[in-house]
Structure 1
Amino acid sequence: MDPRLFLADLEAKPESLRHLAATLSDGDLWAGLPDPVDRVLLLGMGSSRYAAEMAALRLRAAGIDAVAEYASTVASYPARPGTLVIAISATGTSVETLDATSRYQGSGRLVALTNTSDSTLATCADLVVPMHAGTERGGVACRSFQHTLVLLLDLVDRLTAARRGAAALARRAADTAALALRAADATEDLLARRDAWLPRAIELLDGPHGVYALAPAERLSSALQSALMVREGPRRPADGCETGDWSHVDVYLAKTLDYRALFFPGSRYDAAALEWLNLRKSTVLAVGAEVSDAAAVIRYPGDDDEAVRLLTEPLVAELVAAHWWASAA
């Protein structure tokens, strides 16, 4: 792991997303999925599971039986016709994910979503969907996490578009490619303007008791990934929490700690969390929308689109983490 190479990986995000958009436009990366699909089981660890939770929630909202589970769970759904298993691992070598897939090998319904097409996971799957994130020389899953989100959104659209009719299915790939391009533009904007917002973000989040990220359930992956980036590179304490649940599980810390909140707005329970954060004089850095009483707000093009937010907003914590990591190296 190398902080300088990690920063280079982050700076390559826009180009990488545009390459993925072009690849999506050229063809269906999910071509070959078994049919019918009655249930979707997504397996992964770490950031792979964060992305999987997002996809499972969207599939359930569309009426499709779907669940994202820790690959390390002892047992899950049995292999059966109609169950599609998506095993997610950027390296394709996560031991827990490989162990979990052993229950589904030979079923004809095991799909590997991986950034390493010749990995162990790829060789045991019935279908391989490459992430097209390139080599992450910094040793941290940042571009591959972003690409996993895009490809899982594409999977959700594929499975739900089939239920909406031929016209929706025909425009699916173009819609996902257009979203990836909008996220590339948003990411590029944040990178280009970082001298204007990053020093203040570093100052506000640099407390003695860590960073606490809040996001709505639909984008909880942003909070969890942000916290992971702070832990993984600079090795600082950090945690992520769902905004509504925050009032039940994390509000207590705001009373006793120098609480530094990285706030991703969009939950209908934002006001409740912000009321407690303001009452306890916590520091709030908001990303993607105006928040009253926030110490600072970071905006970018396209932040009125929830899908663009999902793909873009973790970059704030990633760049903060890259700075702290390089400073400590």
Structure 2
Amino acid sequence: MAASDTLMYTEAHETADVVARQFAANEGVIAALAQSLREQPPRFIVTCARGSSDHAAAYAKYVFETQLGIATASASPSVTSVYAAPQQWQGALFIAISQSGKSPDLVRNAEAAKLAGARVVALVNVADSPLAKLADTVIPLHAGPERSVAATKSYIAALAAVLHLCARWKNDPALASALNALPDALRSNWDADWSALSEGLKGAHNLFVVGRGFGLGIALEAALKFKETCGLHAEAFSSAEVKHGPMALVGPDFPVLCFAQDDDTLDSTLAVAREFRSRGAQVFVAAPGLEGEGTLPVATGLPALCTPLLIIQSFYRAASELALLRGFNPDVPPHLNKVTETV
């Protein structure tokens, strides 16, 4: 089997069309929601999700807090679904993110948020799901059916929906222009050569994935996909946190994958990469416009908020190749199902 024969590869390859379709289809609902949120700003934002969707929520935290100045926190679903502890969410914006919209604990949390006086928004790929039916506003991801167990296009679609909402809520012409350019940037960046990563990790046993700010969510996502599709133990860290203990494990030949975007976190992330290299670690760095040994190409020209979408798309392609090199089928990870219904 070639990587291009896998569902993971082909579904990730659809991302540009998914994002373009989503932006066009959702403009009306997002513009109306953004207008309402400007007129009645929430006291704070709560996100609720699991797995890859929670990694999208981590990205949303940095987007909303840096662009809108509104505190954003991730809810622990078990607090409501298991412990049944009432939460003080009056006046909050509650954003639930899910591919299927079926997980009982997410549905229960959304119900509790509504009862507590929060405004519930669902970012969901299945527009007639239980989660969507109880939300005040539904933002469909428009990713279409996703048959690979490993989420790819639905994850990037969730990031795109967060960007779309932020751009309209902030009423930011520069970010709106970036949204227009994003689908074409995804199309052209698909051909970026990340074969050094897949070839370099064929025999790896452990791995760190490092990102910061807008890139932390995709670092979490990449670490999950390494475990899920490649049988490779990987852990994600902020480049600010990895020096607080985890760095002690890094030495000769220990692999580290760093994601960076061109903003105020760039220099510190690259400094961590250099320190890892000085210890003899095998370091790969993905950052816009960066060249040289150990670098993975990423397109330039878009705001830093958009870079994570380009990087994770290239990562998905490389991961589908790496999985096959390591003897795994990335579409059917052992012991996993497409929909995980936690309670």
Quickly name the TM-score band, shorter chain normalised: 0.7 to 0.9
Q: Secondary structure at the match of 2:222?
A: helix
Answer yes or no: is the 8 Å Cα contact 1:45–1:70 preserved in 2.
no
Cross-structure match for 1:309: 307
| Compared CA separation, residues 83 and 108, structure 1 to 2 (3 A) | closer
| Compared CA separation, residues 158 and 65, structure 1 to 2 (3 A) | farther
Root-mean-square deviation over aligned CA pairs: 2.7
Cross-structure match for 1:216: 212
Deviations along 1:174-205, one digit per CA (max 9) or x if unpaired, are x44x4344333333223334xxx233221223
Answer yes or no: is the 8 Å Cα contact 1:17–1:181 preserved in 2.
no
| Shift in Å, 1:51 | 1.7
Alignment of 1:235-314 (within 5 A): 235-255=231-251, 258-266=253-261, 267=265, 268-289=267-288, 295-302=293-300, 305-314=303-312
| Compared CA separation, residues 22 and 278, structure 1 to 2 (3 A) | same
Q: Secondary structure at the match of 2:295?
A: strand
| Compared CA separation, residues 121 and 290, structure 1 to 2 (3 A) | same
Answer yes or no: is the 8 Å Cα contact 1:7–1:138 preserved in 2.
no
Cross-structure match for 2:89: 79
Aligned residue pairs total 310
Higher relative contact order (CA 8 A, sep 6+): 2
Cross-structure match for 1:127: 137
| Shift in Å, 1:76 | 7.2
Q: Secondary structure at the match of 2:244?
A: helix
Deviations along 1:121-159, one digit per CA (max 9) or x if unpaired, are 112222211111111121322111111111112223344
Deviations along 1:245-288, one digit per CA (max 9) or x if unpaired, are 11113211113x73111111342422541243122111111112
Cross-structure match for 1:39: 44
1:118 aligns with 2:107: no
Q: Secondary structure at the match of 2:30?
A: coil
| Compared CA separation, residues 47 and 109, structure 1 to 2 (3 A) | same
Deviations along 1:224-264, one digit per CA (max 9) or x if unpaired, are 11111112222321121111111113211113x73111111
Answer yes or no: is the 8 Å Cα contact 1:204–1:285 preserved in 2.
no
* Pairing partner for 1:64 from 67, 70, 73: 70
Q: Secondary structure at the match of 2:139?
A: strand
Answer yes or no: is the 8 Å Cα contact 2:94–2:118 preserved in 1.
no
Distance 2:281 2:105 in 1: 38
| Compared CA separation, residues 181 and 126, structure 1 to 2 (3 A) | same
Distance 1:94 1:179 in 2: 33
Distance 1:49 1:127 in 2: 19
| Shift in Å, 1:101 | 1.8
Distance 2:71 2:328 in 1: 45
| Shift in Å, 1:30 | 5.5
Q: Secondary structure at the match of 2:149?
A: coil
| Shift in Å, 1:218 | 2.7
1:12 aligns with 2:14: yes
Cross-structure match for 2:202: 206
Cross-structure match for 2:338: none
- The answer for unaligned runs of 5 or more in structure 1 is 162-167
| Compared CA separation, residues 129 and 290, structure 1 to 2 (3 A) | closer
Cross-structure match for 1:184: 183
Deviations along 1:61-84, one digit per CA (max 9) or x if unpaired, are 33323222333345574232x211
| Shift in Å, 1:313 | 0.4
Answer yes or no: is the 8 Å Cα contact 1:185–1:301 preserved in 2.
no
Scaled by the length of structure 2, the TM-score of the pair is 0.80
| Compared CA separation, residues 236 and 271, structure 1 to 2 (3 A) | closer
Distance 2:301 2:221 in 1: 18
- The answer for unaligned runs of 5 or more in structure 2 is 330-343
Cross-structure match for 1:101: 110
Answer yes or no: is the 8 Å Cα contact 2:208–2:236 preserved in 1.
yes
| Shift in Å, 1:98 | 1.9
Q: Secondary structure at the match of 1:138?
A: coil
